[in-house]
């Protein structure tokens, strides 16, 4: 028997409360049974997003939310400023280009965060930029971008909106949508929200809704105005993914019991403990600055392949973490502390890494990282 542990940056483990609620007999999305379900989801998402506006619920992966945030607020030829600091920054560029936007990139070395002043400069230089696109947490590098400062910069430009992919940051980082002035905030189900994949969430500011009025990009499946109208009637535009929304309500209940501030604090604490423990093992962070609360990216020790560490963790110890993506493939491995995660998930991850490296012939003082994690996670 090999007991399994899921410590990847999405999908993350789903609490039994949600799994069992989703295993209940299905209900019909256009029947009155569903109205209170969607009503609860709407209220829960507003709470989670710290916004007074409805948060759209889309039946797609998180990427669908990103695509919808391009084709609903922009038109061919519009100028986009993309902060490209990793694999998912690159995705913004690809989506914008697929919809014929003109893309200017602020390209950042992997492992580093954007300097807000560079965004400010770019916007001053070219006031025709219609949208600034960024990740809150860049999953491929484990970097958190300073969303609060970036929002305050874009807020000053009345012809520009700030579009944030928070798919892997939601629940793990405090993102005050209304207070900070984030215009479009995208989440996904299978990350901090502790659900299976299948839902994207999109919060939209009044400023962004005005942009939507002018968009000429083709839209049918991702049609945010129609989703907004449907949501006002406690429906979704097309067939609602009823089971996932029922699960969403269960997970939001769990988070509401914990409290939003406590959830952020939990992720911060787990992330900090993971980083310090990793360093105590003698490993080096791949993330050079502003580490994310969602995932920790670690350099493979010299002479070892990051993918092999990932594989050994999985095959020998039943731990599904993550390897590297794109240019970081082979060079790093990543450990998530996201969603339904607590103290002993970090302990498991660190012990697993210690034992795996030892098994691969790397000199490791067993227990050194775990001792540091224990120290930092003492209650």
Q: Which residues bind a second copy (CB under 8 A)?
A: 4, 6, 8, 10-14, 19-20, 22-33, 59-64, 67, 71, 94-95, 98-100, 188, 190, 196-198, 217-222, 238-244, 314, 320, 322
The CA distance from 75 to 77, in Å, is 6
The CA distance from 27 to 35, in Å, is 11
Beta carbon of residue 234, minimum distance to a second copy (angstroms, whole number): 16
Beta carbon of residue 46, minimum distance to a second copy (angstroms, whole number): 23
Residue with Cβ nearer a second copy (184 or 372): 184
Q: How many CB atoms within 10 Å of residue 307?
A: 16
Q: Which of 317, 349, 346, 354 is nearest to 2 (CA)?
A: 317
Residue with Cβ nearer a second copy (180 or 222): 222
Beta carbon of residue 197, minimum distance to a second copy (angstroms, whole number): 5
The CA distance from 105 to 175, in Å, is 24
The CA distance from 331 to 270, in Å, is 23
Residue with Cβ nearer a second copy (113 or 244): 244
Residue with Cβ nearer a second copy (99 or 162): 99
Residue with Cβ nearer a second copy (165 or 174): 165
Beta carbon of residue 227, minimum distance to a second copy (angstroms, whole number): 12
Residue 296 bridge partners (DSSP): 335
Residue 129 bridge partners (DSSP): 79
The CA distance from 87 to 93, in Å, is 10
Beta carbon of residue 61, minimum distance to a second copy (angstroms, whole number): 4
The angle that helices 368-377 and 343-359 make with each other, rounded to 10 degrees, is 170
Q: Which of 211, 241, 233, 229 is nearest to 78 (CA)?
A: 211
Beta carbon of residue 55, minimum distance to a second copy (angstroms, whole number): 19
The CA distance from 379 to 376, in Å, is 9
Beta carbon of residue 218, minimum distance to a second copy (angstroms, whole number): 5
Residue with Cβ nearer a second copy (13 or 367): 13
Residue with Cβ nearer a second copy (33 or 179): 33
Q: Which of 54, 111, 49 is nearest to 299 (CA)?
A: 111
CA terminus-to-terminus distance, the chain = 32
């Amino acid at each position: 028997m090999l007991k399994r542990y899921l410590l990847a940056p999405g999908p993350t483990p789903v609490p039994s409360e949600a799994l069992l609620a989703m295993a209940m007999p299905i209900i019909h999305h256009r029947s009155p049974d569903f109205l209170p379900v969607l009503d609860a989801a709407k209220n829960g998402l507003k709470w989670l997003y710290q916004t007074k506006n409805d948060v759209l619920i889309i039946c797609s992966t998180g990427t669908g939310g990103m695509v919808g945030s391009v084709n609903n607020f922009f038109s061919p030829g519009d100028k986009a400023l993309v902060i490209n600091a990793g694999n998912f920054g690159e995705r913004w560029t690809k989506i914008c280009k697929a919809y014929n936007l003109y893309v200017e990139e602020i390209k950042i070395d992997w492992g580093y965060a954007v300097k807000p002043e560079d965004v400010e400069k770019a916007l001053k230089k070219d006031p025709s930029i219609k949208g600034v696109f960024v990740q809150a947490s860049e999953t491929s590098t484990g970097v958190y971008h300073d969303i609060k400062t970036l929002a305050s910069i874009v807020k000053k430009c009345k012809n520009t909106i700030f579009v944030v992919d928070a798919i892997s940051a939601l629940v793990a980082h405090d993102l005050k949508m209304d207070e900070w002035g984030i215009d479009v905030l995208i989440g996904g189900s299978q990350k901090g929200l502790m659900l299976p994949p299948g839902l994207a969430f999109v919060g939209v500011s009044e400023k962004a809704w005005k942009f939507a009025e002018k968009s000429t990009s083709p839209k049918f499946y991702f049609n945010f105005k129609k989703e907004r109208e449907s949501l006002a009637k406690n429906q979704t535009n097309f067939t609602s993914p009823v089971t996932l929304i029922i699960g969403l309500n269960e997970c939001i209940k769990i988070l509401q019991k914990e409290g939003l501030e406590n959830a952020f604090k939990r992720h911060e604490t787990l992330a900090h403990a993971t980083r310090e423990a990793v360093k105590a093992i003698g490993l080096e962070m791949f993330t050079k600055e502003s580490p994310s609360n969602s995932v920790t990216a670690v350099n493979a020790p010299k002479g070892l392949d990051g993918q092999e560490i990932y594989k050994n963790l999985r095959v020998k110890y039943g731990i599904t973490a993550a390897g590297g993506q794109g240019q970081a493939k082979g060079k790093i491995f990543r450990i998530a502390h996201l969603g339904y995660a607590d103290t002993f998930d970090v302990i498991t991850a660190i012990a697993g890494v210690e034992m795996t490296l030892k098994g691969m012939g790397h000199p490791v003082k067993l227990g050194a990282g775990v001792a540091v994690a224990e120290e930092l996670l003492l209650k």
